[in-house]
Chains A and B, each alone.
Chain A
Amino acid sequence: MTSLSFDIAHLLAGGLVLVSFMMLYQDRLSALINVYALHALVLTLSVAWQAQVQHAPHLYVTAAIALGFKAVVIPLVLHRIVRRLGIHRDIETVVGIGPTMLAGMGLVALSMVVILRITPEADPLAREDLSFALSVLLLGLLVMVTRRNAVSQVIGFMSLENGLILAATGARGMPLVVEISVAFSIVIAFIVIGIFLFRIRERFDTVDVGALDSFRGERR
């Protein structure tokens, strides 16, 4: 592998981590969805580059799926949902932006340390890729934990899945079937969660999960 292709792969994966940080920074839902679309776009580029570098044409299919579904369809649907629910201007972080960003940096450092320590003999491309993927995954989880709105938790979940795809494409010889099945399960999860969102909304007039807690008689 030439050093240029390695650097570009590195750049794209690093870009994905950066977009994850942008996601942490957003406190409005519409902006969050836009950043998620960007996240999917960067993922598409990264996967396509991997396809180019690894001479693995089936990865182009993955890239196409990512572009079609994640960068276009899902953000559009989410925008519609948010607009119909009328929550596109909600400010809905639980923890302040500053501490969240600090925690995110800590997580990225942690995943770097872990992956670089446990895979000294691995292919350098896969190695870097894995550590970035783990960062994206942890940041996605962090988004889920620090938001109180169900929609943004869905977005956190989807970005987590992007991290998985990044890890999968970094490893050579990942069969397409696996990727497609992962993609499908995510779509199904998305549908289910979407349905639940509306059910929750119907019942409680809000998608703030705190309403569920107060319904159960918990203190907020």
Chain B
Amino acid sequence: MATIDVSFFLWGVAGLLIVAVAAVALGRSAAASNLVYTATFVLSAAMLVMLGLHLISAPGTVLKTTLPIGLPWIGASFKLDSLSALFLGVVNFGGAMASLYGLGYGRHEEAPHRVLPFFAAFLACMNLVVLADDAFAFLLSWEFMSLASWALVVSHHRSQASLRAGFIYLVMASFGTLSLLLAFGLLAGPAGGYGFDTIRDMPHGPMVVAIVFVLMLLGAGSKAGLVPLHVWLPLAHPAAPSHVSALMSGVMTKVAIYGFIRVVFDLLGEPAWWSSAVLIMLGGITAALGILYALMETDLKRLLACSTIENIGVIFVSLGLALAFRSGGMGLAAALAFTAALFHILNHSVFKSLLFFGAGAVINATGERDMEKLGGLIHRMPYTSFAFLIGCVAISALPPLNGFVSEWLTFQAILQSPELPQWGLKIIVPAVGGLLALSAALAAACFVRAFGITFLGRARSDVAAKAGEVDRFSLLAMFVLAALCLAAGILPGFVIDGLAPVTHAFVGGSLPSQAHLPWLTIAPIAETRSSYNGLLVFLFIAIAGWGAAFAVHNFASRRVRRSAAWDCGFPDPRPQTQYSASSFAQPVRRVFGSLVFRARETVDMPPPGDLRAARLTIEVRDLAWDWIYTPISVGIAFAAVRLNRLQFLTIRQYLSLVFLALVTLLLVLALWT
């Protein structure tokens, strides 16, 4: 077999870009949608297959190439190492699935010419980000990735909400890229070595390391959705078409995390211990807040986007733990935490895509995103609801699905924290563990709510009552993802072994090989300490569930009784009397909301005799807006009004300004010691 080269993947990227250009040429023609999604599917799948072949035929090899494009005399260099390979897999798998889903979903798109070119370009840029091996190529692809996704966010440009989401996204993305630009500028140093190899070999002072760490946290964190940089995410991700939302939530946030891992774990050297503490705390806060936001949402896609914030938090906690263990010289624990992070990255990209596809199917069938208007879809869309249920169980971290394994690994890593040398971390990590446990429980509640309100009960609107099952392509994409959730949950040992080269390269340790353990058990540290067997749990659940169903069906009374549902003694046939999404969230809102969201409920009860309806108004505020973004925007507006005067000076005043600036600079030079 011929050896596989990075250039193959670059050809794939070039192919995607050609597809993007071709999509522009195809314009609004009817065949455009099918052609483009088929092409992107084939290209992504081909890259995925070649990546698989490369990993099987030549594991551990690092491929490099330099293209004579980009900066003159420097070119753009690309590299495929174990970490890039992992993320290349995530990107292309997500891309292939989104394309497959798009084959069906894209037919309902009202403005395909606004989506198709950017979809292909978006995939191409994400591929380039994970392959880039110098700061220039990385930043350029990163920025193009942002722009392409921005174009997708505003593809439904007639809605005011989309435009606002797009604007906020663009501002946050530029801010993030600015941070990355500064970070790479500092890393390259005065000599300007922008190749990743040069940066890696160069010693960095502690001050530079600290600043670069903070800048990466801002740059990659704003793209990934770390609190308090998350505000754009619940707006922008749902505004795009659903398969693009899946890509943005499931894949692009992972590309952001890739950037973070690449710099902090690879290029930066050894950050100080407090940086891991910052990472762990921010991750914990992000996880808890993200899922609380999700619980407050009644818009299905916004709920999913908010839950992405939670999962990003979980991943960042694991990354922080890996950093802490690595600097503490605990190779095995670091490998455990890093494996947990990578495993959760894989898992989240799979089940978040699945859930967004499901949400897209619901939107296609009903045209409705508001859960309060859905309900009862399990009868009309049985396959979609089954796949969505699998996704919900997986993201709620219930065994035997994949979400459980990665969160379990995270908690195993947290349990290693008493052996850390720093007292600060010894105290912080268990506290954050508590936060994670809370957010895991809330996530389960959130997805019980999402599934229950959307698919169970009675239809709350006519469109929900008349919904029909979606097309085969969409179902196929969802079922592939659902099967993968189950497979990764039952056979986690293989995934962990597959991640071993990455952990070995980046935290200097790897978990013991899991594949040889009997009965597909995984025991990350030692079997005496903790072990988990997905297969046994699955078999137990399957046998118990089947047994119970068998018993109920065969031994219980066969008489079927139909009667009115219990509704507090008031027989009201309307579906609005059902438990609603807001009422499900009320207990959580009462407990956490007054603190975290300044939630306020106002009851407007008309006096006796007045015939108008009573109203319950709920006001939920995002404190990140109130405390951070509103003051910033007010400040900018104020400064803009003040500085506007500079536009209307006389010639002599302009000259004086230049003159004063020159004299001031000279004064600074003269007084500088």
A residues whose Cβ falls under 8 Å from a Cβ of B: 94, 107, 110-111, 113-114, 117-118, 138, 141-142, 144-145, 148, 153, 209-210, 212-213, 216, 218
| A88 CB, nearest partner CB in chain B, Å | 21
| B665 CB, nearest partner CB in chain A, Å | 9
A107: B residues at CB distance < 8 A: 663
Contact B659 A218 (CB under 8 A): no
The docked-state distance in angstroms from the alpha carbon of A216 to that of B650 is 9
A110: B residues at CB distance < 8 A: 663, 666-667, 670
Contact A141 B670 (CB under 8 A): no
Closest residue of A by beta carbon distance from B665: A114
**In-complex Cβ contact of A111 among B652, B655, B666 (8 A):** B666
**In-complex Cβ contact of B650 among A113, A138, A218 (8 A):** A218
Contact A144 B666 (CB under 8 A): no
Does B656 have its Cβ within 8 Å of any Cβ on chain A?
Answer: yes
The docked-state distance in angstroms from the alpha carbon of A148 to that of B652 is 8
CB<8 Å pairs between A and B, sample of 17: A110-B663, A110-B666, A110-B667, A110-B670, A114-B666, A114-B670, A138-B662, A141-B655, A141-B658, A141-B659, A145-B655, A153-B655, A209-B650, A209-B651, A213-B650, A213-B651, A216-B648
Closest residue of B by beta carbon distance from A217: B648
Q: Which of B640-670 contact A (CB under 8 A)?
A: 648, 650-652, 655-656, 658-659, 662-663, 666-667, 669-670
| B648 CB, nearest partner CB in chain A, Å | 7
| B318 CB, nearest partner CB in chain A, Å | 52
Contact B662 A118 (CB under 8 A): no
Contact B652 A145 (CB under 8 A): yes
**In-complex Cβ contact of B669 among A114, A148, A213 (8 A):** A114
Contact A209 B659 (CB under 8 A): no
| B654 CB, nearest partner CB in chain A, Å | 10
Closest residue of A by beta carbon distance from B669: A114
The docked-state distance in angstroms from the alpha carbon of A123 to that of B663 is 25
The docked-state distance in angstroms from the alpha carbon of A117 to that of B648 is 38
Contact A94 B652 (CB under 8 A): yes
B662: A residues at CB distance < 8 A: 138, 141
| B331 CB, nearest partner CB in chain A, Å | 52
B669: A residues at CB distance < 8 A: 114, 117-118
| B358 CB, nearest partner CB in chain A, Å | 62
A209: B residues at CB distance < 8 A: 650-652
B residues whose Cβ falls under 8 Å from a Cβ of A: 648, 650-652, 655-656, 658-659, 662-663, 666-667, 669-670
The docked-state distance in angstroms from the alpha carbon of A216 to that of B651 is 12
Contact A113 B652 (CB under 8 A): no
Closest residue of B by beta carbon distance from A148: B652
B655: A residues at CB distance < 8 A: 141, 144-145, 153
Query: Which 3 residue pairs are nearest across A and B when measured between Cβ atoms?
Result: A113-B670, A213-B650, A114-B670
The docked-state distance in angstroms from the alpha carbon of A216 to that of B648 is 9
The docked-state distance in angstroms from the alpha carbon of A111 to that of B662 is 11
Tell whether A145 pairs with B667 under 8 Å between CB atoms, given A209-B651, A212-B651, A218-B650: no
User: For chains A and B in complex, what number of residue pairs have CB atoms within 8 angstroms?
Assistant: 40
The docked-state distance in angstroms from the alpha carbon of A148 to that of B648 is 18
| B460 CB, nearest partner CB in chain A, Å | 61
Contact B652 A138 (CB under 8 A): no
Q: DSSP majority for the B interface?
A: helix
B659: A residues at CB distance < 8 A: 141-142, 144-145
| B406 CB, nearest partner CB in chain A, Å | 59
**In-complex Cβ contact of B663 among A138, A216, A218 (8 A):** A138
A145: B residues at CB distance < 8 A: 652, 655-656, 659
B650: A residues at CB distance < 8 A: 209-210, 212-213, 218
| A34 CB, nearest partner CB in chain B, Å | 24
B656: A residues at CB distance < 8 A: 145
A141: B residues at CB distance < 8 A: 655, 658-659, 662
The docked-state distance in angstroms from the alpha carbon of A210 to that of B653 is 11
The docked-state distance in angstroms from the alpha carbon of A145 to that of B656 is 6
Closest residue of A by beta carbon distance from B667: A110
A142: B residues at CB distance < 8 A: 659
The docked-state distance in angstroms from the alpha carbon of A54 to that of B233 is 67
| A159 CB, nearest partner CB in chain B, Å | 14
The docked-state distance in angstroms from the alpha carbon of A114 to that of B662 is 12
Extra contacts, 4 of them, besides A153-B655, A213-B650, A216-B648 (Cβ < 8 A), are A107-B663, A144-B655, A145-B655, A209-B652
B670: A residues at CB distance < 8 A: 110, 113-114, 117
A153: B residues at CB distance < 8 A: 655
A117: B residues at CB distance < 8 A: 669-670
| B432 CB, nearest partner CB in chain A, Å | 52
Tell whether A218 pairs with B651 under 8 Å between CB atoms, given A110-B666, A117-B670, A141-B659: no
Closest residue of B by beta carbon distance from A116: B670
A212: B residues at CB distance < 8 A: 650-651
The docked-state distance in angstroms from the alpha carbon of A141 to that of B655 is 8
B663: A residues at CB distance < 8 A: 107, 110, 138
A218: B residues at CB distance < 8 A: 648, 650
The docked-state distance in angstroms from the alpha carbon of A213 to that of B656 is 15
| B531 CB, nearest partner CB in chain A, Å | 69
A118: B residues at CB distance < 8 A: 669
Closest residue of A by beta carbon distance from B660: A145
The docked-state distance in angstroms from the alpha carbon of A141 to that of B658 is 9
The docked-state distance in angstroms from the alpha carbon of A209 to that of B656 is 14
| A116 CB, nearest partner CB in chain B, Å | 10
| A103 CB, nearest partner CB in chain B, Å | 9
A138: B residues at CB distance < 8 A: 662-663
The docked-state distance in angstroms from the alpha carbon of A212 to that of B650 is 8
| B293 CB, nearest partner CB in chain A, Å | 51
A213: B residues at CB distance < 8 A: 650-651
Closest residue of A by beta carbon distance from B658: A141
The docked-state distance in angstroms from the alpha carbon of A114 to that of B667 is 8
B666: A residues at CB distance < 8 A: 110-111, 114
The docked-state distance in angstroms from the alpha carbon of A113 to that of B652 is 27
| A47 CB, nearest partner CB in chain B, Å | 25
The docked-state distance in angstroms from the alpha carbon of A153 to that of B658 is 14
| B386 CB, nearest partner CB in chain A, Å | 72
The docked-state distance in angstroms from the alpha carbon of A178 to that of B663 is 26
Closest residue of B by beta carbon distance from A113: B670
The docked-state distance in angstroms from the alpha carbon of A187 to that of B131 is 54
The docked-state distance in angstroms from the alpha carbon of A94 to that of B650 is 14
| B649 CB, nearest partner CB in chain A, Å | 9
The docked-state distance in angstroms from the alpha carbon of A137 to that of B670 is 17
B652: A residues at CB distance < 8 A: 94, 145, 148, 209
| B520 CB, nearest partner CB in chain A, Å | 72
B658: A residues at CB distance < 8 A: 141
Which of B656, B658, B667 neighbours the largest number of chain A CB atoms within 10 Å of its CB? B656
B667: A residues at CB distance < 8 A: 110
The docked-state distance in angstroms from the alpha carbon of A141 to that of B656 is 9
B651: A residues at CB distance < 8 A: 209, 212-213
The docked-state distance in angstroms from the alpha carbon of A111 to that of B670 is 9
Closest residue of B by beta carbon distance from A220: B650
| A92 CB, nearest partner CB in chain B, Å | 12
| A68 CB, nearest partner CB in chain B, Å | 29
Closest residue of A by beta carbon distance from B673: A117
The docked-state distance in angstroms from the alpha carbon of A209 to that of B650 is 9
The docked-state distance in angstroms from the alpha carbon of A94 to that of B651 is 13
A114: B residues at CB distance < 8 A: 666, 669-670
The docked-state distance in angstroms from the alpha carbon of A210 to that of B662 is 24
